[in-house]
Amino acid sequence: MSEPTRRPATGYEAPPLRPGELARWSWRQLTSMRTALILLFMLALAAIPGSVVPQEAVDSLRASQWRDQHPQLTPVYEKLGLFSVYDSVWFSAIYILLMLSLVGCIIPRLLVYWRGVRRRPPKAPRNLTRLPQRRVYETDEDPDVVLERARALLRRRRFRVEVVDDAVSSERGYLREAGNLLFHLSVLIVLVGFATGGLWGYKGGVIVVTKDSFANTLSQYDDFRAGALFDPVKLSPFAFTVDDFDVTFIRQGREAGMAHKFSAGLTYQASPSSQQRETRISVNHPLHIDGTDVFLISHGYAPHLTVRNADGSIAWSGAQPFLPEDSTFRSFGVVKVPDASQKSGSTQIGMEGEFYPTYGFIKGKNGGPFSAFPDAKNPAISMLAYRGDLGLDDGKPQSVYALQKKGLTPLKKADGKPLRLDLGLGATATLPDGLGTVTFDGVSRYVKLQISHTPGQKIALGGVVLALIGLLGSLFIRPRRIWVRARRDGGRTTVEVAGLDRSAGGDLSNEIDALTASLRPASTTPEFPEESS
């Protein structure tokens, strides 16, 4: 069996890179345009989970529901930071690397562009016949007269002009590269704007029932996410009251039941000492107060319930928001009564169930209650009741939209079946074991508001505008060069006009013809073909 062929030794091995050489090589790789495009693509891909997975900063309630519905995926998503994509380490790493790459790309190109702007137009080629656009004619005029006229005409057309020996050199279109640089710089400006808003801004969510008020303090928020450099002491001291909520539902056609439009009326004060003002907010039309925006995100229903003890005293009363589960606004909610009483002593009551704006019922094996329409035409509520320990005294935070059933016992009817409270508007149900009664008093609407302060918005907007300007410049500005040569030959002057369009698919024939016609006296006729290649 023959031995495998070995490669001959060259006697030379490349030495390992020293730390400085490795750093320079790494910097060149990072600041290449290819790397910048790859990082920009990666940033776009990284933003996809932020629009698919519910984000804590946008809707913490929806994120909490998603966790409850996907218990197996939740630990994986939490380790990957998918519930807070834009605050995750990996997203921030891509973001920072992209900014460094853009800076490394832009600065060297700025220096090159600055040297190019200061450079004089190139001298006329020795043989103008090789250029794609060329015109030739003869005249009795002196060459200096022709060149002076050419210089004046080209300057009038905003060319940079220089006379060298027997030719005029001119160039135009320097701003094309400036457009490219401006576009890349604008991407960096947009990233800086977003970073500014993320570091010094905040975003919070709150549900406010109509006729209730909100003051801009941390304790009033349902969820609140602030930037790393934001100081909560600097919260604007505004407050507002939700006076009313108006919604119009589509009643006919394939889109029946969908909200056509909705808006909320607010009475607000920019500060405790300022005058009250009234306004209406709707989707994409927020309220602007002292650099803070109040957006109307969604809406729902808050049933009014009253829980009375056996002696008729009120144990709990209020409007509890229920969260919509489908387009008919069938909503799920929880009521917690921590201070109920009975003959044997105090106890706690918990209730969970569904609210139906327009109650309907389907008979049969697979039937049941449903909401026939999202508007509150025939409101009803159906809940299961529990008694025991609600877990409110163990010091652990819990959602107001979830009922911890570990320390609770279901209330049952006399036949031993679980007690279900099915209540129409104004109806009252009696709880067993002397626990009192539950009354469905009425329905209010609530609005889900997003309150955000984003100081980098104008910076990002400016970057977008600059990007459009740079893109238009790089697309429509044509870099081109024109030369005019005049030589005395045999008692007459031979004039050559030639040009080069440096943009893809550019054509200078019309411009060369116009310039030649302006240079040539009316009595002069061309003696050579107008075009050669």
Please name the helix (run of DSSP H) or strand (run of DSSP E) that holds residue 77, with its range, or none: helix 73-80
Lowest-confidence region among 76-80, 276-280, 474-478: 474-478
Mean pLDDT score across all residues of the chain = 86
3-state secondary structure of 217: coil
Query: Does the structure show a pLDDT above 90 at 25?
Result: no
Report the CATH number of the 123-173+483-519 domain: 3.30.310.80
Phi, psi of 236 (to 5 degrees): -65, 135
State the Cα–Cα distance between residues 187 and 69, nearest whole angstrom. Answer: 39
Look up residue 531 and give its two tokens.
């075009």
Look up residue 180 and give its two tokens.
């490219």
Look up residue 423 and give its two tokens.
């209540």
State the Cα–Cα distance between residues 474 and 390, nearest whole angstrom. Answer: 65
* CA-to-CA dists, residue 174 to 122, 215, 386, 413, 469, angstroms: 13, 55, 78, 87, 15
Look up residue 505 and give its two tokens.
């698919």
The answer to whether 192 and 456 have CB atoms below 8 angstroms apart is yes
State the Cα–Cα distance between residues 131 and 530, nearest whole angstrom. Answer: 12
Q: Which amino acid is at 59?
A: D
Q: In degrees, to the nearest 5, what angle opens at C-alpha 92 toward C-alphas 86 and 95?
A: 105
pLDDT at residue 261 in the model: 84
What tens digit of pLDDT does each residue of 348-391 get? Answer: 999 999 999 999 988 877 778 899 999 999 999 999 999 988 88
Look up residue 66 and give its two tokens.
């998603």
pLDDT at residue 532 in the model: 40
Q: In degrees, to the nearest 5, what angle opens at C-alpha 28 toward C-alphas 23 and 34?
A: 140
The answer to whether 269 and 237 have CB atoms below 8 angstroms apart is no
| Alpha helices in 161-297, H assignment, sequence order | 175-200
Look up residue 291 and give its two tokens.
């650099």
Query: Does the structure show a pLDDT above 90 at 441?
Result: yes
Would you kindly state where each structural domain of the chain is located, as residue ranges?
A: 22-113, 123-173+483-519, 196-299+450-468, 302-445
What tens digit of pLDDT does each residue of 114-144 get? Answer: 887 778 888 888 888 888 888 999 888 889 9
The 8-class DSSP code of residue 94 comes to H
State the Cα–Cα distance between residues 281 and 294, nearest whole angstrom. Answer: 8
91-121 burial, b at 16+ Cβ within 10 Å, e below that, comes to: beebbebbbbbbebbbeebeeebeeeeeeeb
The answer to whether 372 and 249 have CB atoms below 8 angstroms apart is no
The 8-class DSSP code of residue 375 comes to S
State the Cα–Cα distance between residues 314 and 306, nearest whole angstrom. Answer: 7
Residue 158: burial class (beta carbons within 10 Å; 0-12, 13-18, 19+): exposed
Quote the percentage of the chain above a pLDDT of 90: 37
State the Cα–Cα distance between residues 133 and 481, nearest whole angstrom. Answer: 11
E strand segments, 343-465: 345-356, 359-362, 368-371, 380-388, 408-410, 420-424, 428-431, 436-453
Cβ contacts of 490 within 8 Å, gap of 6 or more:
none
Lowest-confidence region among 30-34, 91-95, 393-397: 393-397
Lowest-confidence region among 8-17, 220-229, 444-453: 8-17
Phi, psi of 285 (to 5 degrees): -135, 75
The confidence band for 260, taking pLDDT boundaries of 50, 70 and 90, is confident
State the Cα–Cα distance between residues 319 and 308, nearest whole angstrom. Answer: 15
Exposure on the CB side of residue 258, measured as CA atoms within 13 A: 6
454, 459, 461, 464 alpha-carbon torsion, rounded to 10°: -140
Say how many Å lie between the first and final Cα of the chain, rounded.
66
What tens digit of pLDDT does each residue of 243-256 get? Answer: 999 998 888 777 77
What tens digit of pLDDT does each residue of 293-341 get? Answer: 999 999 999 999 999 998 889 999 999 999 998 889 999 999 999 888 7
Query: Does the structure show a pLDDT above 70 at 190?
Result: yes
